[in-house]
Amino acid sequence: MAELIRTNDVALIAVVEGLLQEAEIPVHVADRHASVIEGSVNFLQMRILVPDERADEARELITDAELGQWLRT
């Protein structure tokens, strides 16, 4: 799995997750519940993960949606 985004911004997670699902790219949000329990310290952030073979396509989709600044390199 390729990690695309790491954040505790639930709105960003929801938007990106929706974009990927609409494009039928399998997406997993790791640590969704743990980050809520942890609070705002940013120790444990949610992560958007996609299959390695779909990572380039997902990155392009996120960039086209003008959210590329959030992508991990």
Neighbours of 32 (CB within 10 A): 13
pTM for the complete prediction? 0.86
Residue of higher predicted confidence among 36 and 32: 32
> In this predicted model, what pLDDT tens digit does every residue of 43-61 receive, in sequence order?
688 999 999 999 999 999 9
Second-level CATH architecture of 2-70: 2-Layer Sandwich (3.30)
Predicted local distance difference test score (pLDDT) of residue 37: 59
Q: Is the pLDDT of residue 35 over 70?
A: no
Question: E-strand spans in the chain?
Answer: 2-7, 28-30, 46-50
User: Where exactly are the structural domains of the chain?
Assistant: 2-70
Q: Which of 65, 46, 56 is nearest to 6 (CA)?
A: 46
Q: How confident is the model at residue 73 (pLDDT cuts 50, 70, 90)?
A: confident
